[in-house]
Amino acid sequence: MALTIGHRSTQLAQLNTNPQDWLEPHEHEGRVRIFRGYFKNTTGGTIATGVNISMVKVPPCRILAMSKFRFSAFGASATIDIGWQNYTEVDGDAVTEDPDGIKNDLDVSSAGSYEFGSDAANYQGISIGGQAEIVIQTGGAVMPTNAEAIMELLCVVD
């Protein structure tokens, strides 16, 4: 007996049209590239709140929801914002920096990780329309000596 299909995902429904609808690379047959950045505070002192730390530079892409940001314990009241620097989209439009455009006030008081897409706003990933630097911004408390941050982004580029 053949299995009866009651419903299809949006993407599969688009593939089953005639003529076939176009799907974005992050939805079907896109190539994934890994971008990894590591930072350790080796300044010999603390890093003040409000300081931007550039973690990775990505091409125009879709950052997939399973990407991760890992961190050591920064101490009581410490937070991190995740966002981007100013960049220009492929079509020439300017995108203004947004240091918390991906995540605002992530609690980094104790060691842990943040999975991109775990927030309702980013559950399908984050579109970056041009070459951009992904940054973290310290907040709440200073970044202590030897604190570490690791960003591992899975990006569909084409």
Query: 83-99, pLDDT tens digit by residue?
Result: 999 999 999 999 999 99
Please report the pLDDT score of residue 1 as a whole number: 66
Residue 35 has pLDDT above 90, yes or no: yes
pLDDT (mean) for 6-17 = 76
Question: Cα separation of 43 and 34, whole Å?
Answer: 28
Q: Name 111's bridge partners.
A: none
In angstroms, the CA 133 to CA 142 distance is 22
**Can you give the pLDDT at residue 67?**
95
Class of domain 43-156: mainly beta
What secondary structure letter does DSSP report for 11?
Answer: H
In the predicted model, is pLDDT for residue 16 greater than 90? no
pLDDT of residue 68: 97
Give the β-pairing of 87-88 and 132-139. unpaired
pTM, rounded to two decimals: 0.85
